[in-house]
Structure 1
């Protein structure tokens, strides 16, 4: 079997693209798990149980190094009546924070016995 430079280039390109997709999928799964736990902790209902890519940018981290920053959008509710959009920010593969818009807060009802 003779491999020429074009064959090697094509195989290498396919492998690199597959690796990038695999990494992006892993980062999305990390953002999804973090968002789910965040909503549970804040007593929010995480609607649709999914996050969707909204934006992909380059930003500098706290050390001045350029990092790929992914902003994922998700929806949540507090009362069950209104849907709000929140964002999970991931920089360089690490979840940085969850941003929520102002939303209605309904304190948990106390049980009277």
Structure 2
């Protein structure tokens, strides 16, 4: 029984990470940013209640991106259950049109 719960938690966590990555990819693409290392790292998991009162897990992931291809910046994404709640990016340099990442 415990093994099944652990496997279920791991599988659900993997699914939520894939959802987080999809949001990160879309956001970076829409802002003409380059996602570095094609990875995100889980920084925390907390139980909480959603707007309907259901118990869900709040997960925070961090990732790195670049606007110029030279400097690394940090971003954070937070999901409640499997729903995006927050996307934050550190302040970054907006390159001139001829310097933009393609």
TM-score bracket relative to the smaller structure: 0.7 to 0.9
Looking at secondary structure, tell me which structure has more strand per residue. Answer: 2
TM-score (norm 2): 0.85
Partner Cα separation in structure 2 for residue 31 and residue 107 of structure 1:
29
TM-score (norm 1): 0.77
Is there any run of 5+ residues in structure 2 with no aligned partner, and where?
none
Structure 1 pair 58–13 and aligned structure 2 pair: CA distance change class (3 A): closer
Q: Which has the higher contact order (CA 8 A, sep 6+)?
A: 2
Does residue 84 of the first structure (1) align with residue 82 of the second (2)?
no
Larger Rg: 1
| Number of residue-to-residue matches in the alignment | 99
Is there any run of 5+ residues in structure 1 with no aligned partner, and where?
1-11
For 1:8, the equivalent position in structure 2 comes to none
